[in-house]
Amino acid sequence: MDESILVCVYYGPNGERLINRGGKIAKMLQCPLTILTVDPLPEDEWDIEKIRYVSRWKELARELGADFIIKYNEKRPVAKVIGEVARQKNVTQVVIGQTAQSRWEEITKRSFINMLLNEIPFVDLHIISVSRELKEREGYFERGVRAYLREQDGGLRLCFDHSNHEQVYEGIFYKEVGTDFNNGIFKFMKGGRTWEVHVVDDWVKDWKDDEPDN
């Protein structure tokens, strides 16, 4: 039987890991790869964080030669949507992830797995655990908010607004839980890549070493 891989991603940093795993399986089997993301909201209600994740997933899809499918404003159960796409694409293997802070956490419940297998009993199901690094981070940072890095005094300073004439990097700031100061992690896109720098008291630590390539 010809193989076909479907990778299901939702919200969070584990999506890239799932896509890479699916890409390795597809390369090994020399078969088609499809990437699916499902969201109950219309596209115009997505926050900047989700938009950046999806942009990165699209980039990976192009690199892997995969089809990328987005289901906006989807009110049906996730299992039914996955089943529909799997049948349309003649999928034989589905890759889904176990993440603590997304709708895909439902896969840890047997009811969801049973629903999915009832929809597509002909597939092999791969459940990929979240990486140890991501598990260790859970609970240590608040929800990300839009922020900017502004060049100032030979360094990069965190700010939450900016004027149009300023040289800034726009991204998402994750503040450490339990601190009154702006300490945490800042993530942003530059040159088609995702960059991550550490912020201590409003300033990027060792910014010259962490500065992205132009």
Cβ-defined contacts of 101-104 (< 8 Å, 24+): 101/11, 101/12, 101/138, 102/10, 102/11, 102/12, 102/14, 103/10, 103/11, 103/78, 104/8, 104/9, 104/10
pLDDT digits (tens, 9 = 90+) for 63-113: 999 999 999 888 888 889 999 999 999 999 999 876 433 444 444 444 667
Residues 130-171 have pLDDT tens digits of 554 444 455 567 778 888 988 888 888 898 887 765 668 888
Does residue 53 register a pLDDT over 80?
Answer: yes
Kindly report the pTM of this predicted structure: 0.60
